[in-house]
Amino acid sequence: MAKRRLQLGRPVLLPRSPEAAELDAVPNPHADSDYVVRFTAPEFTCLCPITGQPDFAHFVIDYCPAKSILESKSLKLYLASFRNTGTFHEDCTIAIGKKIAAAIKPKFLRIAGFWYPRGGIPIDVFWQTGKLPAGVSLPDPGVSPYRGR
């Protein structure tokens, strides 16, 4: 079976859906070291599965890589693929975390989804997998509890 080309460095269309999106893993150049990688996506959008109205979230994704790191363009395309997808906050946050974990098999991964109010109630969703390596400091997500964020 031929190895799939990375999306980096070439024109790529926005995936039709989160299921059609592919995350690219690349070799970790420092696999001999434990460290934290943070991705922040402050402008995530999807749709409410009931009303079809837009929902907005601020994601903070922290992980300690093992053999692979997550290529950022593929993550950007994956997150953008939710734009016209109806999904509940909890399902969306955890599905993103699980897809990243499956793609790169990190030592540790935490996703924090800070969702803006729907019906006057903000919803924050946290999911993690793996074990944080000893001696590695995991920074606070840096997003304050909702007060107009």
**Active site positions, annotated:** 48, 55
Cα 116 to Cα 138: distance, rounded to the nearest angstrom: 24
Residue from 54, 45, 108 nearest 80 by CA: 45
* Residue showing tokens 């939710």: 82
121-148 in b/e burial notation, b at 16+ Cβ within 10 A?
A: eebbbebbbeebeeeeeeeebebeeeee
Residue 55 tokens read as 């929902």
Cα 117 to Cα 146: distance, rounded to the nearest angstrom: 9
The SS3 of residue 122 is: strand
Residue from 142, 143, 63 nearest 110 by CA: 63
